[in-house]
C-alpha cells in the first residue's frame, strides 16, 4: 500500500500533525515515512525538539504580529474571514454525525479528522456525498494554505508535513 493513500489512517496522522503538539509526534512522523532530516529541515535532532515544534506551531498558526502567516482555517482562504458561511455548513454537518470539537470547525486538523471518520463510514450513499463534499471543500483551500506554510516555515517540519498532505489529498 502506498504511503500516500487517501485513507483514514493517513488522514488521522495528518490531522494530529496539524494539531498543537503536546508530545513529539513520532508515530505520525513514521506513518508518513518522514525522516529525521526531513522533519527538522536538516537540523541536528538535538537542535530540534518538542519545544521548537510547539514554538513553530504557535508562530505559524496561532499568534504572530502583525498577522498569522498561515491561518489554518478554510474560511480565511475561501471567504477572507473566519467563521464564514462555509464554516457554518461544516458545523452543521459535524452535528449531524454527532462529531464535536473545541476548535473552530474549519481548522485543517478538524476537517482532516472528520474526513477520516467519514472515510470509515463511506459505504452509505449519504455519507459518500458528505465525504465527497468535504474532500472537495478541502481541495479548494488547502493548496493556498500549503503554499503559505512552505513559504513561512523556517524549521522545515510543517513544510514537509504540507508536502506529504498534498500527496495524500491530491
Span 153-166, pLDDT tens digits: 988 889 989 988 99
Please list the residues that pair with 107 across neighbouring strands.
Answer: 73
pLDDT at 22: 86
Condensed to tens digits (0 to 9), the pLDDT of residues 138-155 reads 999 999 999 999 999 988
Mean pLDDT for the chain?
86
Res 57 pLDDT > 50: yes
| Distance in angstroms (rounded) separating the CA atoms of residues 129 and 125 | 6
What's the burial of 163, exposed, middle or buried (CB within 10 Å: 0-12/13-18/19+)? middle
Instruction: Give the model confidence (pLDDT) of 69-114 as tens digits.
Output: 999 999 999 999 999 999 999 999 999 999 999 999 999 999 999 9
CATH number for domain 8-169, candidates 3.40.50.720, 2.60.40.10, 3.30.1330.40, 1.10.3480.10: 1.10.3480.10
pLDDT of residue 23: 81
- The predicted structure's pLDDT at residue 64: 84
For 58, the grid coordinates are: 504557535
Could you tell me which of 157, 134, 147, 164 has the C-alpha nearest to residue 43? 157
Q: How confident is the model at residue 46, as a pLDDT?
A: 46
N residues, the chain: 170
The three three-digit cell numbers of residue 65, written as one number: 504580529
In the prediction, which pLDDT does 126 show?
Answer: 76
Q: CA 31, 34, 36: angle at the middle one, nearest 5? A: 125
Cell numbers representing residue 4 in the block: 500516500
Amino acid at each position: 500500500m502506498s504511503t500516500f493513500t487517501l485513507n483514514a489512517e493517513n488522514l488521522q496522522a495528518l490531522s494530529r500533525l496539524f494539531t498543537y503538539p503536546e508530545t513529539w509526534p513520532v508515530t505520525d512522523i513514521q506513518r508518513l515515512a518522514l525522516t529525521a532530516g526531513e522533519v527538522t529541515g536538516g537540523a541536528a535532532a538535538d537542535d530540534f525538539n518538542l519545544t521548537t515544534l510547539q514554538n513553530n506551531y504557535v508562530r505559524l498558526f496561532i499568534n504572530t504580529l502583525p498577522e498569522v502567516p498561515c491561518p489554518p482555517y478554510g474560511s480565511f482562504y475561501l471567504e477572507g474571514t473566519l467563521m464564514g458561511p462555509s464554516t457554518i455548513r461544516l458545523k452543521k454537518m459535524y452535528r449531524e454525525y454527532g462529531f464535536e470539537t473545541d476548535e473552530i470547525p474549519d481548522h485543517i486538523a478538524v476537517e482532516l479528522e472528520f474526513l477520516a471518520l467519514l472515510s470509515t463510514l463511506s459505504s452509505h450513499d449519504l455519507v459518500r456525498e458528505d465525504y465527497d463534499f468535504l474532500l472537495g471543500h478541502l481541495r479548494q483551500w488547502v493548496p493556498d494554505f500549503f503554499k503559505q506554510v512552505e513559504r513561512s516555515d523556517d524549521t522545515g517540519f510543517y513544510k514537509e508535513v504540507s508536502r506529504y498532505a498534498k500527496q495524500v489529498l491530491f
